[in-house]
Structure 1
Amino acid sequence: MTALDGLPPLREVIRTHDLIAKKQLGQNFLLDLNLTAKIARCAGDLTGCDVLEVGPGPGGLTRGLLAEGARRVLAVEKDPRCLPALAEIAAHYPGRLEVINGDALEIDVAAHLTPPIKIAANLPYNVGTELLVRWLTPPEWPPFWDSLTLMFQKEVAQRIVAKTGDNHYGRLALLAQWRCDVKIVMHLPPEAFTPAPKVHSAVVHLKALPAPRYPADPKVLNRIVAAGFNQRRKMLRASLKGVAPNIEALLEEAGIAPTERAERVSLEQFCHLARIVAAQ
C-alpha cells in the first residue's frame, strides 16, 4: 500500500534499501508518516520557506515537510546508505529537495539556503545538543533561521524549557530562552521509533526573537552562567569568585543574594549581573 504522497511506506523503504538503524550514528527512525506530518505542521506555515533538516534517514520527516508545502528542503545526511531513498523523494518533488551527504557540524548550511529559513529535524541523539547550541550562539543576532522545530530526548527538551527553580533549569534553558520563545509541542513514546530507544522523546519549537530578551554581552553572560552552573550546589559567591574579585558586591548590586545558588537566579537577574560585570 502506498502512502498519501504516492511514495512507498517507510517500512518498505527501509527493507528495499536495507536501512538498519546504526547506534553509532544516533539513529532511531520514525516510521509513522502521520507522526512525521504532525511534526512538520509543528514548524508552522512552511510555504515560501526553505527548511533545513539534519539527519533525515529514510526521509519520513522530509516527506512531511515537502507535503506541508516547504518551498525547498535541504537535507544533510551523514549516512550514505540513506541517499538512494532520499533520491527517490527528490525525484517525486522535482527541484524542491537538495540532499548533502556530510556532517552537519562541518557544513556551512546557510550558504545553501534562501530566507526565510526554518530548521526542522529529528536530530541524531549524539549531536543534537551541540547543534542546538551552535544555532543559538551565532556571531550576530538575529540568526539565519526564523524558527527551530527539533526532536530531542525528553530530558533535553525539559532542560530547554525549564524555569527558574526547576530541576532541569540550567545553561541550556538560559541560552535558549534569552533569545527565543520556547515550548514543547509534542511528546513521543519509545515505541514510536525503530529501534525503540530507552527514553521518551519530545519536540521543541523555538522561535527566534528579534533581539535578546534582556540586554547583556553574550560572552560575559555565558562566562557567568557557565561558572554558576558548573558548580550548581555552591553559593554564587563561591562559584563566581573567578568571574570578578569583588563578586559579592556585584551580586548585591544586581539584587542577588551572594548566598543564592544558580538554579534560583532568573534569566533577567543573570543578564543584569552580566551588565554590571561588563561595566567593571
Structure 2
Amino acid sequence: MSAIDNLPPLRDVIAEHGLSARKSLGQNFLLDLNLTAKIARQAGDLRECDVLEIGPGPGGLTRGLLSEGARKVLAIEKDTRCMPVLEQISAAYPGQLEVINGDALEINPLAHLTPPIRIAANLPYNVGTELLVRWLTPKEWPPFWQSLTLMFQREVAERIVAQPGSKAYGRLAILAQWRADAKIVMHLPPGAFTPPPKVSSAVVHLAALPEPKFEADASTLSHVVAKAFNQRRKMLRAALKGTAPDLEDRLLAAGIQPTERAEQVSLEQFCALAREIKKA
C-alpha cells in the first residue's frame, strides 16, 4: 500500500536498495504503510509539532508521520544503507525531513528541533529501553518532549504500563508512570515485520505530565526503586538494608509493611518512602 504518498511501496524500495534487516542493528522493518500511518496517528495532531524519529530504516513510519502533517521530522539513522531511501522521502516532502546519519545514543537532537516536540519511533530492539530511560530521567522536568509514541517488544511495553502485584511491574513502570501517563495503544503480530521477530510488538504512548504525580526527589526515588527490585523476592526490610539507619520506621511511615516485597508497593508508596529516606 502506498496511497499515503506518491512514493513506491516499501517492499519495492527495500528490494531496489538491497536493504535486508540486520540483527546487529536490532532491525525489523514494518512494511505496511496502513500500519505506519496508524502508528503516526497515535502520536496525536502533528501539524504544529516537530517529531524526532529514531531508527527510521527504509522510512515507513517516516512517511506516515509526514503524511499525517508533521511540521518537521528529524530522523536519526545509524545504517548508512538507508540514506538514499530517506533522501528520496526528503525530496518528496521538501523542507519537512532532516536526516542525520549517526548513533541516537550519541547525538543531541535539540539543536535540530523547535518546540513543541514529540517523539515517535519503531525503536531498534537493542537500544529501545536505554533511550526510553534517558527520556524519562532528564535533569529538569517537564522534558523537551510532549509525548512519546514508541514501538517495543510486547514484554517491554507491558513492563512500562504494569501495575503493582504483576510480574511485569518493576523499575520501568515506576519511571514511566511517575511523570507520564502511559498506555498501550496498538498490538502488532510478528508477521507485520520483515523479517518476523520471534515476539509480538506493541506501541506505547506516554504523555508527559507538567509535574510528577507524587512529590519525590528523583535520584532518591531511582535509587530506592532500583535497590528494591534488584532483589524483588526479598522482603523490603532486607532488600533495602542500609538505605536508612531506621529503615523499618521509614517504611512504616510511608505506609509500607517491612515484610512486603517490591512488586506489592504502589508508585505513591515508593514516592512516600523516597521522601522519608531523603529526610534521613
Same fold (TM over 0.5): yes
1:141 — aligned with what? Answer: 141
AA matched with 2:255: G
The match for 1:178 is 178
Q: What residue ranges of structure 2 are gaps of 5+ in the alignment?
A: none
Aligned sequence identity (%): 74
Residue by residue over 1:43-86, the C-alpha shift from the partner in whole angstroms, topping out at 9 and shown as x without a partner, is 00001100000000000000000000000000000000000000
Give the 3 Å change call, closer, same or farther, for CA 2–184 of structure 1 in structure 2.
Answer: closer
Moved over 4 A (4+): none
Post-superposition shift, 1:202? Answer: 0.0
Cα shift readout 1:20-48 (whole Å, capped 9, x = no counterpart): 00000000000000000000000000011
- Unaligned runs of 5+ residues in structure 1 are none
Aligned to 1:56: 56
Residue identity in the other structure for 1:247? L
| Counterpart for residue 97 of structure 2 | 97
> Residues of 1 paired with 2:234 and 2:252: CA distance?
17
Deviations 1:166-216 (A, max 9, x none): 110000000000000000000000000000000000000000000000000
Is the alpha carbon distance of 1:266 and 1:222 closer, same or farther for their aligned partners in structure 2, counting shifts above 3 Å? same
Letter in 1 for 2:103: D
Task: Look up the equivalent residue of 1:193 and give its one-letter code.
Answer: F
Q: Is the 8 A contact 1:56 1:121 kept in 2?
A: yes
* In 2, Cα distance between equivalents of 1:245 and 1:59: 54
Q: Deviations over 1:69-122 (max 9, x none)?
A: 000000000000000000000000000000000000000011211000000000
Instruction: Give, as a single letter, the amino acid of the residue that structure 2 aligns with 1:95.
Output: G
Which secondary structure does the structure 1 equivalent of 2:66 belong to? helix
Inter-partner Cα distance in structure 1 for 2:166 and 2:211: 25
Cα distance in structure 1, aligned partners of 2:262 and 2:31: 41
In the alignment, the residues of structure 2 paired with residue 30 and residue 89 of structure 1 have an alpha-carbon distance, to the nearest angstrom, of: 16
Structure 2 letter corresponding to 1:15 = A
Please say if residues 217 and 275 of structure 1, whose CA atoms lie closer than 8 Å, have aligned partners that are also in contact: yes
In the alignment, residue 118 of structure 2 is paired with which amino acid?
A: K
**Structure 2 Cα separation of the partners of residues 159 and 143 of structure 1:** 22
Alignment map for 1:185-224 (pairs within 5 Å): 185-224=185-224
Which secondary structure does the structure 1 equivalent of 2:135 belong to? helix
SS where residue 51 of structure 2 aligns? strand
Amino acid at match of 2:71: R
The structural deviation recorded for 1:2 is: 5.2
Counterpart in the other structure of 2:244 = 244
The one-letter code matched in structure 1 to 2:128 is G
Give the CA deviation at 1:245.
2.1
Counterpart AA for 2:147: S
